[in-house]
Amino acid sequence: MTEMALEKRNISNSRLVLGCMSLGGGWNRNRITKEDMIKAERAIDAALSIEINMFDHADIYKLGKAEEVFGQTLKGRQHLREQIVIQTKCGLRIGEGGLKYYDFSKEHILNAVDGSLKRLGTDYIDILLLHRPDPLMEVEEVAAAFEYLNRTGKVKHFGVSNMNKAQIELLKQAVSLPFVANQIELSLSHVHWVEEGIYVNQAYGAQVNFPEELLAYCRKEQIQIQAWSPLAKGLFSGNLKGKEPQQVLHTAELVQRMAQEKGTTCEAIVLAWLMRHPANIQPIIGTINPERIRACKDAGEQARSLTRQEWYALFKSARGREMP
């Protein structure tokens, strides 16, 4: 996979991850259908065909159905469990009236993991991430939950998502177990990260930049940076709506031209731009379209061959101006 934390702890050799949020049908309590199962199987098979062996979940995805449909798929392929890495997240909840809130209490973390284990049909989770920051987080409760889950064999490794350096440092004061990953939104189009506890969301076409301090910190601490929405909803690989800013259109043209010159796909170029960064960013592909999944196959090879000039050309194009 990379030379970062996951490889050093022998968790996964997968340079890409399949995000499973779109599995399981709609965001409702409807039963899982035969069509839902077929879509899940095709997505998983497509991922495996390009040597993706890591799958990213969250207990909240499709109100639990994403994990459930994945677990039902595994049930018919018992040999597959030891060949893959399952990552899931907990802490995001939906209450009465659809209120979204966060809960990092020990009780909720333990209950959430038991629910994920049941839905996934497995005895253990390879990696558990805290799903975004919880302003009411009591680090001692998180530590107690993590230590119990690790001691009982229910969870092997732990990490966070969308957290900044200060939030991770606060957790590390109480949690003795190492954090192996931090999952943040990163793509060629925009970046989404936490700065002083506030989510900063830059619109398509706005100034593009990496949260360099966070990336440097995670590199130093051997925390794998995982990028969610790395393909930017297909913005640079054929999903233009016709109302995008000029720099987005220009970047899409540049990506297409590079893909043609290199004999690869636009998806591979977009992912390669992220993966070329020395933080060894690990993209989490959000699509479950088998064709688009397979289109990502060359991303690692393209990242290795992408020159500095090509990287900065894409950066300048998406940013809309030169580096300072």
* Residue 2 banded pLDDT, cuts 50, 70, 90: very low
pLDDT in tens, 290-313: 999 999 999 999 999 999 999 999
Q: For 9-57, how does the pLDDT look when each residue is reduced to its tens digit (9 = 90+)?
A: 447 779 999 999 999 999 999 999 999 999 999 999 999 999 999 999 9
Instruction: Name the catalytic one among 61, 148, 217, 312.
Output: 61
93 assigned to some structural domain: yes
Per-residue pLDDT at 212 exceeds 90: no
Q: Is residue 240 over pLDDT 50?
A: yes
Q: Supply 158's token pair.
A: 């732990």
Is 259 a domain residue? no
- Long-range Cβ contacts of 249-256 (<8 Å, 24+ apart): 250/317, 251/188, 251/189, 251/314, 251/317, 251/318, 254/313, 254/314, 254/317, 255/188, 255/314
Predicted pLDDT of residue 208: 58
- 199: Cβ contacts below 8 Å, ≥ 6 apart: 162, 192, 193
Mean pLDDT of the residues in the chain: 90
**Is 22 inside any structural domain?**
yes
Alpha helices in 102-164 (DSSP H): 106-120, 139-151
Neighbours of 195 (CB within 10 A): 12
Provide the pLDDT for residue 244: 81
* Helix or strand run (H / E) with residue 287: none
pLDDT at residue 204 in the model: 42
Tell me whether residue 254 is in a domain.
no
- Residue 26 Cα distances to 64, 69, 236, angstroms: 11, 12, 26
Q: What integer pLDDT is reported at residue 248 of this predicted model?
A: 87
Strand locations in the chain (E): 17-19, 54-56, 85-90, 92-94, 100-102, 125-130, 155-161, 179-186, 191-195, 198-201, 224-228, 282-285
Structure confidence at residue 205 (pLDDT):
41
pLDDT band with cut points at 50, 70 and 90 for residue 221:
very high
Q: How many domains does the chain contain in total?
A: 1
Output b/e per residue, 81-91; b: 16+ Cβ within 10 A: eeebbbbbbbb
What is the Cα–Cα distance from 270 to 65, expressed in whole angstroms?
30
Q: How large a percentage of the chain has pLDDT more than 70?
A: 90
Residue with tokens 């009236």: 97
What gap in Å lies between CA 87 and CA 95, rounded to an integer?
24
What is the per-residue pLDDT across 94-142, written as a single tens digit (0 to 9) for each? 998 889 999 999 999 999 999 999 999 999 999 999 999 999 999 999 9
Tell me, yes or no, whether 52 lies in a domain: yes
Angle, alpha carbons 231-84-143 (nearest 5°): 85
Q: How far apart are CA 112 and CA 178, in angstroms?
A: 21
What percent of the chain clears pLDDT 90, i.e. is strictly above it?
78
**Domain of residue 131, CATH code:** 3.20.20.100
Residue 79, domain member (yes or no): yes
| 61: annotated active-site residue | yes
Reported as a single tens digit per residue, the pLDDT across 57-69 is 999 999 999 999 9
Supply the pLDDT for residue 70. 98
Tokens 């899940």 identify what position? 40
Give the pLDDT score at 88.
Answer: 98
Domain extent at residue 28: 5-232+274-304
Predicted local confidence at residue 198, as pLDDT: 41
Q: Do the domain assignments include residue 163?
A: yes
Q: Which of 236, 253, 237, 244 is nearest to 294 (CA)?
A: 237
Residue linked to tokens 């919880």: 134
User: Is 247 domain-assigned?
Assistant: no
- Residue 44 CA to residue 72 CA, distance in Å, equals 12
pLDDT at 267 over 90: yes
Both tokens of 303, joined, read 């990242």
